[in-house]
Amino acid sequence: MRKEPTYLSDLSARAARPATKEYAVPDNRMSGFALRVQSTGTKSWVLRLKVDGKAKRATLGNTLTMSAEEARARAHQLLAAHAPPDIALLAADDRPAIKLNVLAGRFLKAKREVWKPSTLKAIQIYLNSSILPALGDQAINRLTTSDIAEWFYTYSTTSPGGANQALSHLRSMLKFARETGVLPPDAPDPSKPIRRNTRRARGRLLNAQQLAQLGAWLEAPPIRWRDVADAIRLILLTGCRSGEIARLTWAEVGSDKLSLSSTKTGKRDVVLSHLALALLDRRKRGASSVFVFPHQANPAKPIASIDAAWRAIRPLVGLAKDIRLHDLRHTYASHAIMIGETLNMAGKLLGHKRPKTTEIYAHMDARHLAKAADRVGDLIANWLG
């Protein structure tokens, strides 16, 4: 039998019990890495990989003599050793191109007019802390799969999610090099054979009871948190990110939608349910600030961090401390799907930019979207009480 994926550790190895038949417990972070439990009680670490194009299971060691982290490191080494033949980005004249640290500077400069400062800052952190120390001095047409694999798998032992993100940034820079002529347009990507670490799903879905608890608090919040309460309710009714609601201006509020000028994915429209419209209409009466949720001390500025207020409010509502404000967005999307909306529709409501899924629905009219927004809004409002 095959057990559900878990993050394999020495503790999970000790806890695994033999069954009448041999079974394997796959790791939920590293694809192919697993704990093999035989009916005799023998336990060992194994890795499924491809060698010369053929699937193979390699035994890394017995759990009695090899720790989980030692096995994980050995698995990374094997994956790197058996990656497809090195792909070097050799230029036509075979002369070394610019170094990766030079390319990184050009890449960031080119993206200043396109990406938000917060996005650029996040990329700079990955560059300074991981990518450039390991690969910065190498010519970009001399990078090989082994070079990148060794860096990636070493990083993965401490931060699998961070390694995935850093790998994405490296790939974006090499793509930029091909698009701008620094490398030949048909130059292969040496990072392509590398498999990302399997990520555990993040996010919590607030159930009916939790939404009822939150709804009871939102109905009668303390005076100092009335604006925050409205902002939280609007996040739930629109699926917007907290920053999008915190910075929302009246100029972005239309008769049936929000026309957001700056979001994580650029400009986008958010169709409003009748409940969201009622909330905004109530707030507009007597409003004097350009912001829908102005700062209490200085109405010329947007409200202070909703996330900080959420952390203070959460225990008052009786919600677990691992429930983030962003989970309200997850809740909106999850309930949209549970009442029958497609993944494509949920992505449309949330403003996700996934061409392969949203392109099919590019012709969808606003009336259909408005009905979907109303259904989700009504469901959540019902649970809020």
Domain 10-66 fold is Double Stranded RNA Binding Domain (3.30.160)
Question: Rounded distance, CA 297 to CA 176, Å?
Answer: 45
User: CATH 1.10.443.10 in the chain, residues?
Assistant: 208-384
Start-end of CATH 3.30.160.390 domains in the chain: 10-66
Q: How many CA atoms lie less than 13 Å away from 381 in the CB half-sphere? A: 16
How confident is the model at residue 155, as a pLDDT?
A: 87
Q: Token pair of 346, please?
A: 């949920």
Q: What is the pLDDT of residue 364?
A: 37
Q: How many CA atoms lie within 13 A of 105 on its CB side?
A: 6
* Res 336: pLDDT: 58
User: 10 Å Cβ neighbour count for 179?
Assistant: 11
Amino acid at 277: L
- Compute the distance between CA of residue 315 and CA of residue 8 in angstroms, rounded to an integer: 32
CATH architecture of 83-200: Orthogonal Bundle (1.10)
Query: Are 266 and 116 within 8 A, CB to CB?
Result: no
Tokens of 146: 């082994």
**What type of residue is 141?**
N
Per the CB < 8 A criterion, the answer to whether 229 and 293 are in contact is: no
Residue ranges of the chain that CATH labels 1.10.150.130: 83-200
Please, are residues 331 and 313 in contact by the beta-carbon 8 Å criterion?
A: no
- Whole-number Å distance between alpha carbons of 366 and 232: 25
Q: What is the CATH number of domain 208-384?
A: 1.10.443.10
Beta strands in 249-355 (DSSP E): 257-260, 268-271
CA distance linking residue 143 with residue 140, whole number of Å:
5
pTM: 0.53
Asked if 78 contacts 47 with a C-beta cutoff of 8 angstroms, the reply is yes
The one-digit pLDDT tens for each residue of the chain (385 residues) are 556 667 888 888 998 999 999 999 998 878 889 999 999 999 999 998 887 778 888 899 899 888 888 888 888 878 777 766 555 555 445 566 789 999 999 999 998 887 888 888 989 999 999 999 999 999 998 888 888 888 988 888 788 888 989 999 999 999 999 998 888 888 888 888 787 776 655 556 677 788 888 888 988 898 888 999 999 888 888 888 888 888 999 999 998 888 888 766 667 788 888 988 999 999 998 888 999 999 988 989 999 888 888 899 889 888 888 788 887 776 766 655 555 555 455 455 555 454 343 333 333 334 545 666 777 777 777 777 6
User: What is the b/e burial string over 308-339, where b = at least 16 CB atoms within 10 angstroms of the residue's CB?
Assistant: ebbeebbeebebeeebbbbbbbbbbbbbbeee
Strand partners, 260: 268
Question: What does the alpha-carbon distance between residue 108 and residue 368 come to, in Å, rounded to a whole number?
Answer: 40
Q: What is the Cα–Cα distance from 374 to 331, expressed in whole angstroms?
A: 15
pLDDT in tens, 93-121: 556 678 999 999 999 999 888 788 888 89
pLDDT at 2: 56
